[in-house]
Amino acid sequence: MSVSPTAVEVLKRDRAIVAFGLAGVTTLSWTYLIYLHWGMRHMDVGMEMIIMPAMQHWTAWDLVLVFLMWAVMMVAMMVPAVSPVILLFAEINRRRNEQPGTLAPTGQFLLGYLTVWTGFSLLVTLAQWGLLTVALISPMMESTSKVLGADCCSLQVSFSSAA
């Protein structure tokens, strides 16, 4: 004779599955970003890595790699920030339906959230490409324009006092 789990046990199990899933996605994202960082710090080896975009004159593949970098970076930063809301969503959904199957709706909720941030990543990738193309930023994402960079030391502002 099997004993059905209590509501508390189901909640703990669902929360654990969702929490481990969120931690796994975050860990994979940060691992990829650390690997990219290593490649940037070791340019002699890093430039030969297939996951490193070209520094100038992007091809379509470079555009994809930069988009991937932005999208993964958004996942790495935004999933931990939204994790409490996702866990709360899973709990509310389970209680509302009074059944343990909360993983699919919770996954859809997370997917919708990440879709919005992926769209933002696409916009940022296109902005980076555009700024690099017109030489307003360097290949290392440093501003080459005093106006765009708002370099306060280069702006000469004089104040005169009226006596």
Per-residue pLDDT tens digits for 98-155: 665 567 888 899 999 999 999 999 999 998 888 888 877 766 666 777 766 665 554 4
In this structure, the dihedral spanned by the alpha carbons of residues 112, 113, 119 and 123, taken in order and rounded to 10 degrees, is 170
Q: In this predicted structure, what is the pLDDT of residue 163?
A: 46
Residue 72 lies in a domain: yes
Residue 159 lies in a domain: no
Give pLDDT tens digits for 49-107. Answer: 555 565 667 788 888 988 998 999 999 999 999 999 998 888 888 777 766 556 788 88
The C-alpha angle 42, 44, 50, rounded to 5 degrees, equals: 85
pTM of the model: 0.68
Residue 1 lies in a domain: no
Q: In this predicted structure, what is the pLDDT of residue 158?
A: 47
CA of 17: how far to CAs of 50, 100, 143, in Å?
34, 12, 44
**Full domain range(s) for residue 56:** 7-149
The burial of 10, by beta-carbon neighbours within 10 Å (0-12 exposed, 13-18 middle, 19 or more buried), is given as middle
Looking up tokens 């005169």 gives: 160
Residue 155 lies in a domain: no
